[in-house]
Structures are given as C-alpha cells and as structure tokens.
Amino acid sequence: MSLVCTLGNLYVFAIIARTVLSWFPINPSSPVSQVARVVFSITEPVLGPVRRAMPKMGQFDFSPLVVLIGLQVFMGAVLGC
C-alpha cells in the first residue's frame, strides 16, 4: 500500500510540474525541454481523455485540477493514504 501511495504522490508532483512548465516558453534545445517531454508523456495519457470529456472553458484547461482532485479523493478514500 505504501508503494501505491508513493507512486500516487509522485504522479501528483508530475501533474503540478506539467502545469508550472506550461506557464513558460520552453526552447526545444534547452535541457528543460527533455524534462518537459518526459513529464508530458507521463501525464498526457490521463489528462488527455479528461480534457476531451470536459466542456470548453475558454482558454483555461481545468483537466489537471480535475485529475488532482480525483486522485486525492481516490488515494484518501480508497487507499487510505
């Protein structure tokens, strides 16, 4: 159970990192672009379907918030983390 909680917390960190990275322009030749690419590839399989299922809210993407809340509820209620 502890491993699942740790992995869930790491995924929360990856979603937050992706959100923060989206605020800044990233040069494709910078070392940060490699980190951004890895974070994107880890989080997109979950964020993409949630984003497509949600109604459009202008320029704002609330899918990270929805996934974070859902993940926290799941980890707290089901796993007891």
Averaged pLDDT score across all residues of the chain:
92
Q: How far apart are CA 77 and CA 47, in angstroms?
A: 21
Q: Is the pLDDT of residue 47 over 80?
A: yes
Q: Is the pLDDT of residue 1 over 80?
A: no
- Count of residues in the chain: 81
Which among 54, 56, 57 has a CA at the least distance from the CA of 46?
A: 54
Q: Is the pLDDT of residue 8 over 80?
A: yes
- In this prediction, residue 51 carries a pLDDT of 93
pTM of the predicted protein model: 0.86
Percentage above 90 pLDDT, the chain: 65
- Would you list the domain boundaries of the chain? 2-79
